[in-house]
Amino acid sequence: MEVPTRPSIDISGRWTTAWASRKSLKTFTIAALFAVAFSLFLLSGKQRTIGQANGCDFPAIFNFGDSNSDKGGKSAAFHRIPLPNGNSFFQKPAGRCCNGKVIIDFIAEKLGLPYLSAYLDSIGTNFQHGANFATGGSIIQPLDARMFKLGYSPITLDIQVSQFEQFKDRVNELYKEGVNSDIKRKLPRPEDFSQALYIFEVGQNDLDGAFKSMTEKQVVESIPGIISQFAQAVKRLHQQGAGTFWIHNTGPIGCLPFQVLEYPPQTDNVDQNGCIRSRNEVAQEFNRQLKERVIQLRMQFPDAAMTYVDIYSAKYSLISDAKKHGFANALRYCCGHYRDNLCWRKKVVNGTEILGTSCRNTSAYISWDGIHYSHAANLWVANKVLDGLLSDPPTPITEACLMPLHL
């Protein structure tokens, strides 16, 4: 796996060079003006990280969530997610439910950090710049019998946070014990935990599972409980010293091809894109309550920077204007033939074994396998959200550690 070099702008280094090489009064005046302007720039936003002017320079990312950002957790814990997953980019199964990269990969690229290793993966991992606790099928709520029977993962959000707590404790212990350089190359430094970026994208499976066992009205009634559980996870991480949170909301679940296929045909509940309107309304209600809670959490933890990221709007605008953005197929999917013959799964039909294979042109599809977005769609969504235009506050991810002045 390639490890991109981290961009690091050493302001003090440049300053010294400029100072040493030019001694005229004119240069001094310009430098002094620059220093004043620079201090004013610093004052314009409260900075958590001192001395890093060019963005936040996050040393690490810790990610929590479900298959939308899993890149090896489920694969390591349960079974490998086989080809054609990974085919378009890695040319082998890469732990992701996708032909290529997921949004968290594009985030790592944007921040100049290597792709995250899955915490549960025991082979070839490197956690120097963070760890990914997300696993496919995870939910926010503790796993009850109903969700267990529906096949959701036991590695729920609270378990992921417990795994993080253990990870952090053990890193700190090893450093105290005087760890060798080989281990240091594979683990974050104790001080990185407070400077890291903490990312969440979770909740889609809570809604999906609820739709399978409740009326939509009951699903809406269950949302406050789910949001409270989410807030608990944020609180626990904050107690551990986490200071910067980047929180993705949930996507338009009513536009997932499998939701559309499963829903009884009922034209008055279908929007102009062919998505199930009422399901999207439930997702929007979830997002409304999530955003409200993020605002409350900000007031509760004024030392933390929390960005709420509107993934829903990005995905919905992609689906609404699919052709314009180069995607011929908005609600069809690339891998697997139909609901009863899923991506990569085998099925015997009329005595012949058929395999749920990939379509030819993966970049023509928004949906990879009926549930997960394709590499091309994930790239489009990442480009749409990482500059901050769909965030509250409207902060680019590279500046997510800065808190707006009004707080």
Ligand X SMILES: *[C@@H]1O[C@H](CO)[C@@H](O)[C@H](O)[C@H]1NC(C)=O
Show the tokens assigned to 253. 């679940």
Say whether 57 is catalytic.
no
CB count within 10 Å of CB 115 equals: 23
Query: What is the spatial distance between Cα 126 and Cα 186, in angstroms, rounded to a whole number?
Result: 5
Instruction: Calculate helix-pair angle for 311-320, 375-385, nearest 10 degrees.
Output: 120
Stated length of the chain = 407
| Closest CB to ligand X among residues 295, 349 | 349
Task: Specify the stretch interacting with ligand X by CB under 6 A; choose among 44-52, 78-86, 266-274, 361-369.
Answer: 361-369
| Residue 268-307 contact track with ligand X, rule CB under 6 A, x = bound | ----------------------------------------
| Residue 199 neighbours by CB under 8 Å, 6+ apart | 61, 62, 63, 64, 65, 69, 104, 107, 245, 246, 247, 248
From the list 57, 66, 67, 278, the catalytic residue is 67
| Residue 400 neighbours by CB under 8 Å, 6+ apart | 56, 197, 244, 246, 305, 307
Say whether 369 is catalytic.
yes
- Answer for which of 289, 363, 387, 399 binds ligand X (CB under 6 A) is 363
Minimum Å distance from CB 366 to ligand X?
Answer: 10
Q: Is residue 349 a contact point for ligand X (CB under 6 A)?
A: yes
Q: Is residue 359 a contact point for ligand X (CB under 6 A)?
A: no
- Answer for which of 3, 183, 328, 389 binds ligand X (CB under 6 A) is 328
Instruction: Assess contact for 218 and 210: CB atoms under 8 A.
Output: yes
Q: Is residue 350 a contact point for ligand X (CB under 6 A)?
A: yes
Q: Is residue 326 a contact point for ligand X (CB under 6 A)?
A: yes
Nearest 5°: the CA angle 210, 213, 219 is 40
From the list 129, 238, 248, 372, the catalytic residue is 372
| Closest CB to ligand X among residues 299, 348 | 348
| Closest CB to ligand X among residues 150, 359 | 359
Task: Specify the stretch interacting with ligand X by CB under 6 A; choose among 175-183, 215-223, 287-295, 358-366.
Answer: 358-366
- Answer for which of 281, 341, 364, 396 binds ligand X (CB under 6 A) is 364
Q: What are phi and psi of 325, to 5 degrees?
A: -90, 10
Number of residues engaging ligand X in binding (CB under 6 A): 8
| Residue 144-183 contact track with ligand X, rule CB under 6 A, x = bound | ----------------------------------------
Say whether 321 is catalytic.
no
Q: Checking phi first, is residue 315 left (phi over 0); if not, alpha (psi -120 to 50) or beta?
A: alpha
Query: What is the spatial distance between Cα 20 and Cα 372, in angstroms, rounded to a whole number?
Result: 55
Query: What is the spatial distance between Cα 290 and Cα 247, in angstroms, rounded to a whole number?
Result: 9
Minimum Å distance from CB 364 to ligand X?
Answer: 4
Show the tokens assigned to 39. 């201090």
Show the tokens assigned to 82. 């086989």
Task: Specify the stretch interacting with ligand X by CB under 6 A; choose among 99-107, 148-156, 238-246, 324-332.
Answer: 324-332
The single-letter DSSP state of residue 133 is -
Query: What is the spatial distance between Cα 22 and Cα 306, in angstroms, rounded to a whole number?
Result: 42
Residues catalogued as catalytic: 67, 369, 372
What does the binding site for ligand X look like in residue numbers (CB under 6 A)?
326-328, 349-350, 361, 363-364
